[in-house]
Structure formats: C-alpha cells, structure tokens
Amino acid sequence: MAGLGKQDKERIARAALARLMEPQDSVGLALVRALGAVDALGVATGELGAGPNLEREISAVLVDGGGASSWAGLPASVRRWAPRVRDLAPDRDLETMTRLGGRLIIPGDALWPEQLEALGLQEPLCLWWRGREQPLPGSGHSIALVGSRDSTNYGASVTGDLAYGLAQRGFTVVSGGAYGIDAHAHRGALSGGVASVPTIAVMAGGVDRFYPSGNEDLLRAVATQGAVISEVPPGSAPTRYRFLQRNRIIAALASVTVVVEARWRSGALNTAHHAESIGRVVAAVPGSIHSANSAGCHRLLRDGGAVCVTDVGEIAELAGGIGERLSEDRDTGAAVHDGLSLEDLILLDALPLRSASSVEKLTVVAGLSADAVRAGLGRLGLLGLASSERGAWKRSKTS
Amino acid sequence: MAGLGKQDKERIARAALARLMEPQDSVGLALVRALGAVDALGVATGELGAGPNLEREISAVLVDGGGASSWAGLPASVRRWAPRVRDLAPDRDLETMTRLGGRLIIPGDALWPEQLEALGLQEPLCLWWRGREQPLPGSGHSIALVGSRDSTNYGASVTGDLAYGLAQRGFTVVSGGAYGIDAHAHRGALSGGVASVPTIAVMAGGVDRFYPSGNEDLLRAVATQGAVISEVPPGSAPTRYRFLQRNRIIAALASVTVVVEARWRSGALNTAHHAESIGRVVAAVPGSIHSANSAGCHRLLRDGGAVCVTDVGEIAELAGGIGERLSEDRDTGAAVHDGLSLEDLILLDALPLRSASSVEKLTVVAGLSADAVRAGLGRLGLLGLASSERGAWKRSKTS
C-alpha cells in the first residue's frame, strides 16, 4: 500500500474487513477499535500475530461497548474469518463502486454521517454508497419511514402523503428499499423532495444489485436523486440476518423512526427497537383495529415506546426541527364558551333561544342570585352571546 | 321530620339540596361537609343563621378539597340559592322516584358506589336511580366506554364488539346514554351482559325523562336490566354545564375510561380528563388518521395520557381484574428462529433451500469456522431447521 495516504489505507483495510466479517461482529469491531483497521486486517487474516495483551484489550472494548462479557478468544474468531480470506479483493470492490458511480466512505471521512456514532461499537465499518458525492444529511434532517412489505391501501396512501410532505419540508426520508411501505416512502420523497438528498435506501445486500428486482427502477431513481447505501460489500446476498442488522443503520441515520404499518411481528418493529435502544424517537401511525397491518403499530403505542403521529407536522415536531408546528393549528378553533366561568356557562345554558326571559326567571332556572345573573348577562352581552330586549334576555343566534 | 331515622332525614335534605344547587357547587358541598346535609339545608334556605366560624370552616374545606382559595362568602351563595327555595319539594321528588320504580341513594347507604369517594369534595350529593334495587358494581368491575354522538360505522362496530365482549366477561359498561358511541355501548352490553347490572347510563338531566328521545326504548331497557342514574333531580333539563359535570361521575364509577371515537374537540375528552385527574386509567381506541372521528383518540394517545387499546383483553388487563390476559395469546405464535444465537441465524441464512451444501462451502458463505458450522448444523438439525444427506446440508422445508 505504498504511496497511499493513511485514510486511503484505512479505507482499503475496511473494505477487506467488511467482506471478512458479518455486520455487528463484535469481536471484529473491537479488534478494529484496538488496532485500527490496517493492523486489525493483518490479525484477522493471520498475517500478524496476536498476544495476550491484545486479547485483554479486546475484552475491555467489548465490556465498554456493552457487548458480550465472555467470548471464545481471538483464535476462535480468526478461525471463523479464515474461510473468507482467499476471497478478499478490496481493490476490486472499490473499483466496482467507482464503475457504479459510487464510493466507499469510512469513519473520519468528511462525508461520513456523524449520527452513526450513536451505535457505539456497532457503528458500521464502512458504507458502500451509490449516488452523487455530496454530504449525507444529519439526523435532525432525516426521518425513517418503515413498515410492512404487504402494505394495505391505507398504508400506501399514508406513507406516500407523509413522505411527500416531509420531503417538501426539506427532510430526507430514510427507508429500506423493500416492497410496500419502504417503496411508497422512497417514491413519495422523490416526488416531493427539495433537499439535495431527498431519500436514502439502506440495503441489506450489496448495492451493486437493486434488490428486490421489482423495485429496480425505483432504486435506480433513488441512487440518481438520493443515495443507496449498504454496509456489506458488492455481491453480498441480502440474508435475513443482514436485514435485521441493516435496520440499526436506518434507525441511527434518522432522528425519528416512524412505523407506518406493521403486523404484530414485523421487521419494522426491529428497526423501532434499534431506534429506541440508541435513544432516538420512535413514532407509530395508528390505524383500524381490524387491520392486522396496524397491529404492530398499536403494539408499539401500547407498550409505551412509541409516540402516536397522524400528520407531517407532528413528525416534524418530534424531529425538534425544521418543520413548523403545523399540528397546533387545529387548536385555534376554540369555542367562545371555553373561556367562560362556571357561573356564566350555567347562565348561558339557562338563556332561552327564542322568547326572551326576565332576570327573575333566570335566577330560578340558573340557580344564581339576581346580582350574579345581571353581571353575567352583561359579560355574555359583551361577548355577543346574549342579547336583551326591553329588560328580557335571550341567547344570541351566534352562540 | 319527626319519626324518621337519621339517614332518612339526611336523604330528604340531600334531595332538597340537589334541587337548590348545581352539580359541583363547591361552596354548597363544603357547607354539607361542615354541617351535614340537614343543617346545611337550613343555612342554604336561610332558616338557620351562619356565623363567622362557619365561614372559616367552609374556607378550610374548600382549601382541603383543592377548590377555590377565594370565595365571595356564604351570604353571596345563599342569595344565589334563594330563587330556587320556593320550588323545593323533596318529598314529591322522592315519591316520583318510587313511582318510576327507582330511589334516591346517598353516601352512607349500602347501595352507594364507594368509588365515587375518589371525587373528594366533588362527590355527588346523591344519585337518583331508575332500575332494580341491587348493589351497583365496584370500579374494578366497571369500564366506561365513551365517544362522539356522530359515530362512524367503524366506531359503531368497535363499540358494539367491545361492549359485548366486556359484558360477556362480567364487566359493567358505563356510558352517558347519548346517541352514537354511548348508545352502541349500552346496546352491546345489554346483549352480552352476564353481570347483575350489565350497563349503567349516567344522565345529564333528570332520570324521569329518557333523553334523547330517540334513545327512549334503549334507555328503558337499560333501566330495566341495568341502571339509569343522575345527580340532578327529576325534571332537570340536561344543560351543557350538566353534561360536563356528569362526565366526572362516569369517570369515577369505572376503573378504566375508554374513548372509542372522538373528534379533536369532544365531550368524551372531558370525561377522559376527569378520569385522569382522579388517577383512573384512560384508554383510547386508534383508528384511521383520515377519520376526524378518531382525531380526539389520537390526541389522547399522543399527549401521553391514554393507553392504546385494540381489544377486550387489553381493556380487561387495564382493569387489573377479572378478565384473563387474552391479548397475550398473540405472542405464543413466536417463530422458531427467535431463540437462535446470532451465529446460528447466520448459518440458517447460509443454508441452501434446494441442493445441499458442504460444510466447507458453508464456512465461506456464513463466515464461520468449520467447527462453528458443524456445531451449528447440529443444533439446527435438532430444531428441525436443517437436514443432512451424505454429509451435505440444506434447510428443512418447515423453516
């Protein structure tokens, strides 16, 4: 690697490590923390030896990172990585990204999204990125919209509206590129987007393939106008395990994770739990209790982890951010009666709508003294709620 | 009142006071606390004088009860009550109740629902009650179902299902006898009821009239099979003020107040706030975010005061009570994969579905050592998730 800068050597090493290790391989990540990526790769491939000091250091990192307190030791991990060593070709992988109009970013790069630090030890080694070279948005400007693949018409329409509205306000919509809610989220964001990166698709497999194939055109548009990213290298299959790991990146990129539609058991709930575990806001969209596709959302609401959201304004508010508090608008329609004292409310109830009533009669109907009735009628008159005719009072038509 | 027992004299006095004072007349209620109902009636009608000691005592009761810290003094209240004194006829009101097959109950009666004590100073003076003479259920056995008058088909069907299901489990369904959600709640409870009092309608006006008239048949059935009650005497009109006051009784009778459908501004939210203020559980049923009739429910969920409920089991659970935790049933459908370690999950993902794969190939695909793959295959085999054929492995069809 002669002639390369430090960050470039680090990049090549991380490209190799990403192929060697599955996402969230705690021992591997701790090894990188301890030695840096270049030496970590040496140890992982068996080129460099590892002494008891390193074992202790990795143990310490694992404990700090809240990871496994007991582990099988570095030799076991090296044996685990060994079968993949012969497949390593980081230069080829980086060339592939260039050919696809993309790149590999790593922590320390100006383009690296800082909010991924919230994942601690589980921060991805790197991100393989298809899309224009421009800064990815910070978490305050990103909202994750996630949900079931088998979305209903309701879920589709709600997701589309929310994604469009959020994108119109300058938010970046993060999702997983899958069928259903994910696809509607990306599509809505593309049509409404005003930010330089209107939407990000975080893939479970390599970004060389637009998967699933039915979303190929959509994902191509996301790559062109936004970004398609993954922590696993080109050619990696989107396995179930990688889907679950991928969800933590969606959660970490955004300040708020909104579950729009999800069944009682759903991958979207996994994303919500990731978000919660790193202190990000989880929100859920309610729906019919007769819809199995809302059962997961209601579960999140019921278990207390999620905030109930029903429009773009409420989501923007949770992001603490750039959207105005549109959701408050509804409160301004307060009825005139709201400010009345109990006595005046009783008096208003006692006032007839048609034939006017005397003060004396009102004292009986309202159960108030004559003085109180007179004073109250004066106040109601000022508010336009009562009107008088030759000493007799009735309710105004507007009240 | 010669020849009458103490409780009977108290009853007649409270019957009179209930006509003299509007619900939640704090000064009047404090007067009753200070002197008992019989002497309080004397003071309220001007028959008994009131000295500065009594003023001080009432002040103390008001402060204790969290009521107004400043008040206009007893003479002002007496003037307020004066116009209604000439209409007092408690014996006639009690006769009316007997004629209607009902009665008047007051605190201290065996039939008085103890849970109303939670209202403190705002506990009703008495309850006018149409229905068979039998104990009203305790709060642990009562659930309030409330909501908008202009219910949707969704609200109607959900309310009917919940009321029927709750009644089937022996709960008493409390509501307000109005059109819409209230009516569906009473109807559902009548058809499903197994408790001696399947449902209670708490009216804002006198129980002599079944109001609104469109619910006359329904309310007659509630009176026959359950109970129709009110704190205001026969002949009282259901004014807006009394509707709002009535809501506190609905909230206090039940352990859980469920808002099934409510607009952004709705009387049902008032009931929910009453329930919250006396420490009772508030729950809300979610619905479409496109339905204005669910906006109030979502508001309650969002503001954090309400628990999201979607079925009878979840409501019964909140009542802490007699219904079993049916809602947990859904959890038993856990996937076999849930208990797997990360390594085994990775291995399961790596297993081909059709042509079997060698251990060596699996080490590359899964990124695990040969030992780990062998051990993992053993575990997956035991779980029926993997099967082998001449040393090669594939996924079992059931996984």
Q: Point out the residue among A87, A301, A369 whose CB comes nearest to the CB of B79.
A: A369
Residue B2 pLDDT: 59
Residues 6+ apart with CB under 8 A from B47: none
Which contiguous run of DSSP H or E holds residue B281?
strand B281-284
Contact yes or no for A151/A213 (Cβ under 8 A): no
For residue A201, which amino acid is it? A
Residue A338 pLDDT: 60
Is beta strand B307-308 parallel, antiparallel or unpaired with respect to B281-284?
parallel
Q: Point out which residues pair with B244 in neighbouring strands.
A: none
Domain boundaries, chain A: 1-88, 127-331, 336-395
Q: What is the number of CB-based contacts under 8 A between chain A and chain B?
A: 148
Is beta strand A306-308 parallel, antiparallel or unpaired with respect to A281-284?
parallel
Query: Residue B87: its chain A contacts at CB < 8 A?
Result: 364
Cβ contact, residue pair A367, B81, below 8 Å: yes
Closest CA of chain A from B34, distance in Å: 22
Q: Point out which residues pair with A127 in neighbouring strands.
A: A105
Cβ contact, residue pair A369, B241, below 8 Å: no
Dist CA B384 CA B155 (whole Å): 45
Query: Residue A297: its chain B contacts at CB < 8 A?
Result: 286
Query: Residue A286: its chain B contacts at CB < 8 A?
Result: 286-289, 294, 297-298, 301, 308
Cβ contact, residue pair B295, A314, below 8 Å: no
What's the length of chain B?
399
399 residues of chain A, pLDDT tens digit each: 557 899 999 999 999 999 999 998 999 999 999 999 999 999 999 999 888 899 999 999 998 887 666 788 899 999 999 999 999 999 999 999 999 999 999 999 999 999 999 999 999 999 999 999 999 999 999 999 999 999 999 999 999 999 999 999 999 999 999 999 999 999 999 999 889 999 999 999 999 999 999 999 999 999 999 999 999 999 999 998 999 999 999 999 999 999 999 999 888 999 999 999 999 999 999 999 999 999 999 999 998 689 999 999 999 999 984 433 333 334 434 455 666 777 788 888 888 888 888 888 888 888 888 888 888 888 888 777 888 877 788 888 654
Note the pLDDT tens digit of each residue in A321-373.
443 333 333 443 445 566 677 778 888 888 888 888 888 888 888 888 888 88
Secondary structure of chain A in HEC code, one letter for each residue: CCCCCHHHHHHHHHHHHHHHCCCCCHHHHHHHHHHCHHHHHHHHCCCCCCCHHHHHHHHHHHHHCCCCCCCCCHHHHHHHHHHHHCCCCHHHHHHHHHHCCEEEECCCCCCCCHHHHHHHHHCCCCEEEEECCCCCCCHHHEEEEEECCCCCHHHHHHHHHHHHHHHHCCCEEEECCCCCHHHHHHHHHHHHCCCCCCEEEECCCCCCCCCCHHHHHHHHHHHHHCEEEECCCCCCCCCHHHHHHHHHHHHHHCCEEEEEECCCCCHHHHHHHHHHHCCCEEEECCCCCCCHHHHHHHHHHHCCCEEECCCHHHHHHHCCCCCCCHHHHHHHHCCHHHHCCHHHHHHHHHCCCCCCECHHHHHHHHCCCHHHHHHHHHHHHHCCCEEEECCEEEECCCC
Class level of CATH domain A127-331? alpha beta
Cβ contact, residue pair A79, B342, below 8 Å: no
Best probe of the B interface among A273, A301, A307, by most B CBs < 10 A, is A301
Cβ contact, residue pair A333, B363, below 8 Å: no
Dist CA B279 CA B291 (whole Å): 29
Query: Which residue, chain included where needed, has tokens 């790069």?
Result: A109
Dist CA B399 CA B397 (whole Å): 6
Q: Point out which residues pair with A394 in neighbouring strands.
A: A387
Query: Residue B337: its chain A contacts at CB < 8 A?
Result: 240
CATH code given to domain A336-395: 1.10.10.10
Cβ contact, residue pair B367, A21, below 8 Å: yes
Query: Residue A288: its chain B contacts at CB < 8 A?
Result: 154, 286-288
**And the tokens for B224?**
């026959």
Q: Point out the residue among A80, A240, A244 whose CB comes nearest to the CB of B367.
A: A80
Q: Point out the residue among A22, A288, A307 whose CB comes nearest to the CB of B288.
A: A288
Closest CA of chain A from B103, distance in Å: 24
Determine phi and psi for A347, rounding to 5 degrees: -65, -40
Dist CA B308 CA B258 (whole Å): 9
Cβ contact, residue pair B80, A288, below 8 Å: no
Q: Could you give the 3-state DSSP secondary structure of residue B51?
A: coil
Note the pLDDT tens digit of each residue in A295-334.
999 999 998 689 999 999 999 999 984 433 333 334 434 4
Q: Point out which residues pair with A137 in neighbouring strands.
A: none
Q: Point out which residues pair with B259 in neighbouring strands.
A: B146, B284
Residue B383 pLDDT: 78
Cβ contact, residue pair A298, B286, below 8 Å: yes
Contact yes or no for A261/A154 (Cβ under 8 A): yes
Chain A, nearest residue to B261 by Cα = A288
Is beta strand B199-202 parallel, antiparallel or unpaired with respect to B307-308?
unpaired
Q: Point out the residue among B154, B241, B301 whose CB comes nearest to the CB of A349.
A: B241
Q: Could you give the 3-state DSSP secondary structure of residue B190?
A: helix
**And the tokens for B290?**
């496109």
Determine phi and psi for A238, rounding to 5 degrees: -80, 80
399 residues of chain B, pLDDT tens digit each: 557 899 999 999 999 999 999 998 999 999 999 999 999 999 999 999 888 899 999 999 998 887 666 788 899 999 999 999 999 999 999 999 999 999 999 999 999 999 999 999 999 999 999 999 999 999 999 999 999 999 999 999 999 999 999 999 999 999 999 999 999 999 999 999 889 999 999 999 999 999 999 999 999 999 999 999 999 999 999 998 999 999 999 999 999 999 999 999 888 999 999 999 999 999 999 999 999 999 999 999 998 689 999 999 999 999 984 433 333 334 434 455 666 777 888 888 888 888 888 888 888 888 888 888 888 888 888 778 888 877 788 888 654
CATH code given to domain B127-327: 3.40.50.450
Query: Residue A160: its chain B contacts at CB < 8 A?
Result: none
Cβ contact, residue pair B364, A84, below 8 Å: yes
Q: Point out which residues pair with B129 in neighbouring strands.
A: B103, B229
Dist CA B37 CA B90 (whole Å): 13
